[in-house]
Structure 1
Amino acid sequence: MKRVNRAAFTAAALLSCTLTFSGCSLISQALPQGQDGTAGEQAGSDGQEQGTGADDSGQSPETDEVAADPSSAAAEGASGTEGGAAGTAASGTDDGAAASEDGATGSDAGESSGSQTEVSIGESFTDPEMEDSIEVLSAVRNFDSSKKSSAIDLGGEVVLLEVKITPGQKYGGLVSTGDFKISYDGGSDYRFNQTTGVEEEMKAAGYTPLENVSRRDGGTHQGWIAFVPSEKGDTYKIRYERGAGEVMGTGEKVPAFTEVFDIPNS
């Protein structure tokens, strides 16, 4: 009888330990998953606001035909700017920028200060090496956004930029939306776009977000890129910068290309 009771007690204890351990394991797996997701979005948002985060392109700077120049990439990486190949695309992800500027609250309160206005720009240029043709058509100042209400309340605004791209056929790779950056300090520092964070609001308002353009696809591609300067200015500078690279298999160097233009006051 004692042996039976002892066996029953041992089995019950083992079952209890097994259930407890399983429960703890499930909880420990479930909690960090949610916490990490929130922390990642907030960290990404903070990085974008400070200009140290990545842009929205989410693409790797690789191409079938042109490779990034290592010395150029290293120099650009050290200065905090975005390098890449002729098919350049910004590294990282702007999923963090998708987190609202309201922080973890996700508040939908607040609108852009001032009235939303569309202004004409009418700039056009061609990348002489890649033969990409780029037209900057117009911009929207004070875009109404509840997702970026905190940035707006703190003195910033949401700016949309309309761009038309006809890629060249000389090389492969991408014309990246991450190559467009904004400065609101006269050109001393340029910040990444935050299109992902207001993408749904843009679509709802009729402003189709511009996607990265594959040179192999050809054609003409038109859409909008969103910037969220934390300090509202009369005008802004936009820099388009395609990083230097090297033609794979030949060693031919492809120099970087840069073009700067202004977004006027509304």
Structure 2
Amino acid sequence: MDIGTEFTDEETGDVITVVSAMRHNPTEYYMATDNPEGEMIYLEVAVTPGDIYGGVLSQRDFYLEDGGDEVNYAASADDELIDAGYEYFDGAPRRDGEATGYIPIYIESTGDSLKGAYVRPEMKILGEDATVPEFEIPAA
């Protein structure tokens, strides 16, 4: 995903924007202890949920590539992010409307550029025998 690019999930009407990526943040995240060559990234996202479905756009739906694997939300780093003065993205319930904030993601293999993706998991439509398939916005 390119920073600043807005994407729309045609199935749900969700609008997702990766606003910025704050890099090289100090961290005591447990993986950083064993791998000081890694990097804590604060990924800033803005989402405007569509009004077709319920549920939450989760911080766990945003990924960065890490040495060929995809990694997501570093849950125990929330307090570090908040203490550094950033607004934490605590998911976006579709009923509550738009939300903006930062997601801490730790990668073990850093580089000059990063690739990422937004992946909405498959959803079951309540009261129907239908599902909404998984949706992915891959790195540009």
TM-score, reference length from structure 1: 0.48
Render the CA deviation track for 1:97-139: whole Å, top value 9, x for unaligned: xxxxxxxxxxxxxxxxxxxxxxx92121011111111111101
1:192 to 62, 72, 81: 72
CA distance in structure 2 between the partners assigned to 1:191 and 1:137 by the alignment? 19
**Dislocated runs of 4+, deviation >6 Å:** none
CA distance in structure 2 between the partners assigned to 1:167 and 1:151 by the alignment? 38
**Matched residue SS, 2:7:** strand
Q: Shift of residue 236 of structure 1?
A: 1.8
Render the CA deviation track for 1:152-188: whole Å, top value 9, x for unaligned: 52x1111110001111110111111111122123xx4
2:33 is matched with 150
2:62 to 177, 180, 186: 180
If each structure's strand is expressed as a fraction of its own residues, which one has the higher value?
A: 2
Is the CA contact 1:182–1:193 (under 8 Å) kept in the aligned structure 2?
no
Is the CA contact 1:151–1:157 (under 8 Å) kept in the aligned structure 2?
no
Asked if residue 160 in structure 1 is aligned to residue 42 in structure 2, the reply is yes
The runs of 5 or more residues in structure 1 that have no matched partner are 1-119
Q: Shift of residue 246 of structure 1?
A: 3.1
2:17 is matched with 135
CA distance in structure 1 between the partners assigned to 2:28 and 2:53 by the alignment? 41
**Length, aligned pairs only:** 138
CA distance in structure 1 between the partners assigned to 2:96 and 2:133 by the alignment? 23
By relative contact order (CA 8 Å, sep 6+), the higher-ranking structure is 2
> Cα distance 1:151–1:232, how it changes in 2: closer, same or farther (>3 A)?
farther
1:248 is matched with 126
Q: How does 1:205-244 map to 2 (within 5 A)?
A: 205-218=84-97, 220-244=98-122
Q: Shift of residue 239 of structure 1?
A: 1.5
Larger Rg: 1
The runs of 5 or more residues in structure 2 that have no matched partner are none
Is the CA contact 1:143–1:159 (under 8 Å) kept in the aligned structure 2?
yes
Q: Shift of residue 253 of structure 1?
A: 3.1
Which amino acid counterpart does residue 202 of structure 1 have in structure 2? L
Q: Shift of residue 207 of structure 1?
A: 0.9
Render the CA deviation track for 1:39-89: whole Å, top value 9, x for unaligned: xxxxxxxxxxxxxxxxxxxxxxxxxxxxxxxxxxxxxxxxxxxxxxxxxxx
CA distance in structure 1 between the partners assigned to 2:130 and 2:110 by the alignment? 43
CA distance in structure 2 between the partners assigned to 1:145 and 1:257 by the alignment? 31
Q: How does 1:31-180 map to 2 (within 5 A)?
A: 121-147=3-29, 149-151=32-34, 153=36, 155-180=37-62
If each structure's helix is expressed as a fraction of its own residues, which one has the higher value?
A: 1
CA distance in structure 1 between the partners assigned to 2:132 and 2:29 by the alignment? 40
